[in-house]
Structure 1
């Protein structure tokens, strides 16, 4: 069964990874997104994430359920609140029988999460405050 969480507390990457382990899976692929300092010429100091939790969890469920129906396991956790440089913002993991499926589904999940799940970020940069997703 998949595990989905919108969390105001730091993500425990190791514990999230452990949720993916099972003898039936031969491939586990994870993506961990952290707060980076530089985006091109823009220097980030901090990021504050906010979400519409009920809708975000509903959207995450819509992403995870079809993948799990194909026999994989999905773990997704996203931070909300104030994050500093190098803090983990998002964890996406997929365990599947074979690595190709795990890679494909992990890529799909993180890409789709960024466009379809109501989670927003406010970046405090050295020169301005910017809103994005």
Structure 2
């Protein structure tokens, strides 16, 4: 059963990992995204994340459902609010019978989340503020 959460709460990687552990799964793949300082030559000082929560949760459900229908388990947590450098912004974990599925599905979840889920970031750089997703 999947776990999908969008909130201001800090992300506890250990607790989320435990939601993936199950004797039926032989592969668990996780992605943890943090606030980085440099994007090329642009220096970021902090990021504020916001979301249209009802739609974001529906989109996450749509992403997780096909994976779970194939026997996998999906865990996603995304922070909102202002995050400092190195803070965890997103956790995606997928458990599957085999590692190849876990890797493939985990990448699919984070890539699809970035493109389809209404979560936006306001990046505070040393020279300006940028908006993105």
Q: Confirm or deny a common fold (TM above 0.5).
A: yes
What TM-score comes out, normalization by structure 2 length?
0.99
Alignment of 1:101 with 2:121, yes or no, is no
Deviation digits for residues 89-109 of structure 1 (CA, Å, limit 9, x no counterpart): 000000000000000000000
Indicate the SS of the match to 1:21: coil
Query: 1:81 is matched with which residue?
Result: 81
The number of residue pairs the alignment matches comes to: 133
Query: 1:92 is matched with which residue?
Result: 92
Query: 1:37 is matched with which residue?
Result: 37
State the 4+ residue runs in structure 1 displaced beyond 6 angstroms: none
How far apart in 1 are the matches of 2:129 and 2:35?
15
How far apart in 2 are the matches of 1:101 and 1:9?
29
Indicate the SS of the match to 1:107: helix
Question: In the TM superposition, what is the alpha-carbon distance from 1:7 to its structure 2 partner?
Answer: 1.4
Deviation digits for residues 74-117 of structure 1 (CA, Å, limit 9, x no counterpart): 00010000000000000000000000000000000000000000
How far apart in 2 are the matches of 1:122 and 1:102?
31
Indicate the SS of the match to 1:4: strand
Deviation digits for residues 36-64 of structure 1 (CA, Å, limit 9, x no counterpart): 00000000000000000000000000000
Indicate the SS of the match to 1:11: coil
Indicate the SS of the match to 2:11: coil
Q: Once superposed, what is the RMSD of the aligned Cα atoms? A: 0.3
Q: Which runs of 5+ in 1 are unaligned?
A: none
What TM-score comes out, normalization by structure 1 length?
0.99
Query: 1:72 is matched with which residue?
Result: 72
